[in-house]
Amino acid sequence: MRIVLIILLIGIATLAGGLYGALFDQITYTISPEFFTKMRFPQYEITGDVNERWEAAKMGFRNAWGVGLGLGCFLSVAGLLHSDNKKMFWSTLKSFGIALFLSFFFGMIAFLFVEPVMDKIISMNNYSYVGGTIGMFLGLGWQVLNNRRKEQK
């Protein structure tokens, strides 16, 4: 049963990572459509008459689902330290939330403090990855602390 739970959690994290990327690229597209039309779309050979927002969302999903997969594998396996499946599931989901929140938070820090616009968008993406990595380790720490607290009760 635990292996099924790990697979489910990894699937959730992968989907969440992809959706995060799609939504994050909608934010960055709103800030600078030119970043996509002049830089990102040519990198991915996206040309012609396309719905630019949809293409930006697809690009964000493609770029971030793998991060969600890696984060999901790491935190789902860490969830095995919990004594039962229910604790494992909810604790792991909360640790995913920590990582997603910090990813977004770090991206917004770049939005607030980096200039000019092209540098801002690149920094938002890079800082988002840094935040997600920090969040992954803080999510692991949260799981360990949460498990210890529940064992002491």
Close Cβ partners of 143 (under 8 Å, ≥ 6 residues apart): 75, 78, 79, 81, 82, 91, 92, 95
Mean pLDDT by 10 residues, the chain (153 residues): 95 98 97 93 89 96 96 96 92 96 96 92 95 96 86 68
Is 110 in contact with 120 (CB distance < 8 Å)? yes
pTM of the full structure: 0.92
Instruction: Reduce the DSSP state of residue 153 to 3 states and report it.
Output: coil
In eight-state DSSP terms, residue 44 is T
